Amino acid sequence: MRAQTQFLIRGTQLIAVLTFGAGFAKQQIKTSHITNSDLAVRNDPVKDFVEIPHSEYSSSLTHRPSPPRRSATFSSIKSTTTIRSFLVKRGLANKSNKQSWHDDVSPQDAHEDTPLDGVSAHADPESEGLAFESRVRRDVSDPLEDFDDQVSEISTKQSAWQHQEDGGKDETDNLNDDLMVPHAFLIHQIPWQLHQESIALFLELSGSLNCSEQLHDHEDDLRGDLARLLLWGESFDGGKLDDILAGSAELRDVVLELCATVSEILIEGKFEELITTQRFTF
């Protein structure tokens, strides 16, 4: 009887020890394999996708494989399309979101995935999608709106400039402006007239370079200058010179001064030549 009692007591102690040991071992398994990566995965918005296999918990204290990581989980997901379909299945994403992002895209293109889908697949895809939609629409439409604004602004400025050019007068006043055209024409044509008259005088002078001994000494230089002066004038034929000089008063003064200098030099040279040949008296 005593022996039976001691056997029962030892058996109960053994069972208690085994039970405690098993519980302690299970607790050790649960705590020792929760690493920082596990915590990162569990705090991730897509933690619902990560399912740790139960077989890992059922193993003993032997070496266990590394815990599942996001890369391992997503390695089975081929593309962001799968992520989106997965989210739709879980009810975490709305199908209409994607359609609304591609309202202006053809149906074929709408089924194609963009990297932006994956970005919006994270926390709260619906609100993120709406925000993204407004952002995309703003980015796309802003340049066109800016261009229209710029065009209208330029048109406004041009109209104001034209009005300013007209002196703010109406059409009836413009009839009186026609009387001012000859005077304005003469003033604005001065550099071009100087150039043309200088060229004509230069050509006439070049024909008699051999007649004058003084001019003959500078024949080569004068012919070279005549050629360059002709070349300079060819660039601004047809009123182009007046258009250029109308835009800059300083440039106009410089060109006018240079053309006047050339004209006066040529006149002096012509005087010299005419006095030499005694065909001109003053």
Partner 1 sequence: MGKTNHPAAERIEHLLGIIQQAEEEGKGNGSEATKIQTSFRRESHRSMADAAEILHSSVDCLMRLLPTMEISLAFH
Residues forming contacts to partner 1 in the complex (CB under 8 A) are 186-187, 190-191, 193-194, 197-198, 200-201, 204, 214-215, 217-218, 221-222, 225, 228-229, 231-232, 235-236, 240-241, 243-244, 247-249, 251, 253-272, 274, 279-282
Q: With respect to partner 1, which residue has the nearer C-beta, 29 or 260?
A: 260
Min separation Cβ 182 and partner 1, Å: 13
Q: Are 33 and 67 in contact (CB under 8 A)?
A: yes
Please name the residues in contact with 129: beta carbons below 8 A apart, sequence gap of 6 or more.
94, 97, 98, 100, 101, 120
Min separation Cβ 203 and partner 1, Å: 11
Min separation Cβ 160 and partner 1, Å: 19
User: Please, what is the end-to-end C-alpha distance for the chain in angstroms?
Assistant: 167
Task: Using CA atoms of 251, 254, 257, 263 in order, give the dihedral in degrees to the nearest 10.
Answer: -80
Q: With respect to partner 1, which residue has the nearer C-beta, 46 or 241?
A: 241
Min separation Cβ 194 and partner 1, Å: 6
Closest CA to 61 of 85, 105, 27, 37: 27
Min separation Cβ 269 and partner 1, Å: 6
Q: Are 215 and 273 in contact (CB under 8 A)?
A: yes
Q: With respect to partner 1, which residue has the nearer C-beta, 37 or 214?
A: 214
C-alpha distances (whole Å) from 88 to each of 74, 92, 94, 101, 222 are 16, 6, 6, 16, 89
Q: With respect to partner 1, which residue has the nearer C-beta, 123 or 275?
A: 275
Which DSSP state fits 59? Answer: S
Q: Distance between CA atoms of 193 and 4, rounded to whole angstroms?
A: 141
Q: With respect to partner 1, which residue has the nearer C-beta, 145 or 253?
A: 253
Q: With respect to partner 1, which residue has the nearer C-beta, 88 or 190?
A: 190
Q: Which helix (DSSP H) or strand (DSSP E) does residue 211 occupy?
A: none
Q: With respect to partner 1, which residue has the nearer C-beta, 141 or 248?
A: 248
Min separation Cβ 198 and partner 1, Å: 7
Which DSSP state fits 120? Answer: H
Min separation Cβ 176 and partner 1, Å: 23
Q: Are 271 and 201 in contact (CB under 8 A)?
A: no
Q: Are 122 and 128 in contact (CB under 8 A)?
A: yes
- The pair of structure tokens assigned to 86 is 């997965």
Q: Distance between CA atoms of 202 and 225, rounded to whole angstroms?
A: 9
